[in-house]
Each structure stands twice: as structure tokens, then as C-alpha cells.
Amino acid sequence: MNLKPYSPLTAGVIINLSMGLLYGWSVLLAPLEVSLDSDRASVSLAYSLATIFFTIGMFVMYKLLNWLSLDKLALAMGALGATGLALAGLEESIFTLIIGFGAGYGFAAGVSYFIAISAASHPSPIPITIAMSINVSAFAVGGVLWPPIFEALIRTIGPHGTLITAAIILLTASFIAFLLLNYSKVKSPDSKGDGLFRDILTNKPRVVIALFVGMTLLAITSLMVIGHASGMAAELNASNIVLAPMITNFAYIAGALLVGQICRVINGRLVLIGISFLTGLVLIILWLFPNIDVLYLALAVIGACWGGCAASYPVTVSSFYSLSDLPRVYGRICIAFGVGGLIGPLAAGALFDNYNSYSTVTIIAAGLGFLAAITHLSLPKIKVGK
């Protein structure tokens, strides 16, 4: 059996599994707070900065291909991320944690995420919709794999030793990905731009604007709820509030894989409309019937829809643009992820503080979900076969 056609996707999965350690951050938070003798807000700044630099990395990835091929860029980003983690582990200070984990690892993870998407879009025996869903799911699987790994390591070598070990794992994974991409002779996507306006809005501004606004609305909607899953569970007197974020994480993975299959028979535009509408609908149900069982149902649906969003957006972009343009165009649209990540949880927290309840959060998030559906409805219809 010739394994060469599967090498790019395998490389992408390895990259995302390793870079997905971002989801293990919550396990590191309290131990780092103690070891650095700092407050939680200061330690949390590293994660916030990592999210910002992750978005920046996605935005500039295709430009970096002017200097490095895809395989070499994967190795370089692995080295950068590993250096950042090692710096945070070796030099025990808030400053090195923020610079190393926040800026160094965060940027490397954002670039690497799009390296993985580019690798998954390479022609192979696996349909691109399935390849994309497997690829984006691999990053979310980090939320399942890394927390127990970090927990075990922290017990034996402490949080800083854990960061150093993670650096070694990251570097090893990037080297394996480099070998696979080099072996498969995967071509780098087009890195040429067309000037500032066309480079950002492309030659199809209606498509880019609709996708960007739609993703921003859906990100804010989803993260208003996902970011406060435990708090919402506590308000409804859940016996185990840890179950709430676990539901969204597993649902995210399942949703990404399921939507990858759905996109084989239904075009991405219709999938995005359906995902957005379903998100709004389940939040209306939660608002009308606020009990813990309905919350768990809502979290499962929203988690699955958010995972489906991650799988269907690149597929939808590839319906309007060539695969070589995917990293450039999708990288622009994914700024919406950063916007939603900043606004969603913050807005939900402010609304909760003001009303002392998540009821208002729920109904506003529902409205934004329906607005996202309307925005995606404004996309041009995709021709059959795209």
C-alpha cells in the first residue's frame, strides 16, 4: 500500500495534536500561580496573549511562505513554539511566561494550524471534506489528551518541568511533520498578494465580508456560552460543573467529524446556515426552559455546531476560491475567531455581573445566532459540484 498520498494529512494531524496543548492551559493555571507567587489575572495574561498571537499567526501564515516552504515552515514553527515553552519553563517569571507561552508558542500555534489546513487540502484518496474535519478535530482532541498529560507531569516534575517536557514533545512532533511533508513533496500554497484592498477582501468582497461577519457573530454566540459553561451549570445547581465544559469539548470533536461527512452531500453555505440557525434555536429553548438537562443538551448542540463551523468554513471557502488560495483567504476570515474569543466571554461576564443571571446572556446569544444564519444566507449560492 502506497502511504505517500496520506502523508500530508498525517503531518497535519500530528501538528494539530501537538499544538493543541493550548487546550491544556487550565490545568497549568493554578500550579503556575503558586510557583510564580502571582495572582491569577497576571498568569491568565499569558493565555490571553496566546489567543491574540494565535490569530496573528493565522493571519500572516501565507506571507511566511515567501521565505520558507511548507515543510520547513512547519519545522521552524515547531522550533519557535518549543523555544517559547522552554523559555517559560526554564526562566520562572511572569515575564518569560507571557513572552514564551503567550507570544512565542501562541504565534507558532496559529501559523501551524494553517500549515495543517494547507497539508489537509493537498489532494489525497480521502475527500477534502473528510480530511478537513479530521484535521480540525485533531486540534480539539488536544482538549482531551493534554489535560491528563499535564496533570500527571505536574504531580511529578511541577508546572515548569511540564512546560519543558511539552517543548520537547512539540519539537519532536514538528520534526516528524517536516519529514512527512518533505517525503510527500507537498507544494506550498500561493503566497502572492494583489495589493492591500484585494489582498484583504480579494476579488470577491461579498464572499469575504459575509463569511467574516457570519463567523464573528457565530464565534461571539458560541463563546458567550462555551466560555461560561461551568458558570451556567453552577447557576442551575449542577452537581458537577466540570461536566459542562467536557460536554462542549467532546461535542466539538464529534461535530467537526460529522459535518465533514455532511459537507460531502450538502454544500458549505447551507451547512453554515443550518449550524447558525440551530445554535440560535437551542438557546431559545434553553431560555424558555432553564434547567440543567436542557443546558447539557444546549452545550452539546452548541459545541457540535462550533466544531462543525471549524470543519465547514474551510470547505466553504474552497467552494469560492482555489485550494492554493485557501490559507490566504481563510486566514483573513479567521480574524473573526480572535474577535469572538475576546468579545464573547467578556460580554457574557459583563451581562452576568449586571443582571446577576445568565438568562439575558442566553437570549442575546440566541439573537446573534439567528443573525449569523441570515448573514450566511447572504452568501452567493454555490454551484452544484463545488
Secondary structure (DSSP) of 347-377: HHHHHHHHHSSSHHHHHHHHHHHHHHHHHHH
Q: What is the mean pLDDT of residues 323-346?
A: 78
Domains, the chain:
4-184 (1.20.1250.20), 196-377 (1.20.1250.20)
CB 221 within 8 A of CB 305: no
- H/E element, 201: helix 196-201
pLDDT bracket for residue 10 (50, 70, 90): very high
| pLDDT above 90 (res 44) | no
d(CA 236, CA 363): 16
Q: At what angle do helices 268-288 and 205-226 cross, to 10 degrees?
A: 30
The predicted model scores a pTM of: 0.76
pLDDT at 322 over 50: yes
Average the pLDDT over each of 38-42, 45-49, 103-107 and give the range with the smallest value: 38-42
Give percent above pLDDT 70 in the chain: 92
pLDDT in tens, 55-102: 889 888 878 888 888 899 999 999 999 999 999 999 889 999 999 999
Which residues 6+ apart lie within 8 Å of 282 measured at CB?
Answer: 297, 298, 301, 302
The cell numbers describing 64, all together, are 511566511
Q: How far apart are CA 87 and CA 190, in angstroms?
A: 33
Residue pair 82/170 in contact by the 8 Å Cβ criterion: yes
Local confidence band at 231 (pLDDT 50, 70, 90 cut-offs): confident
The pLDDT, as a whole number, for residue 1 is 56
Mean of the per-residue pLDDT values of the chain: 86
- CB neighbours of residue 199 within 10 Å: 15
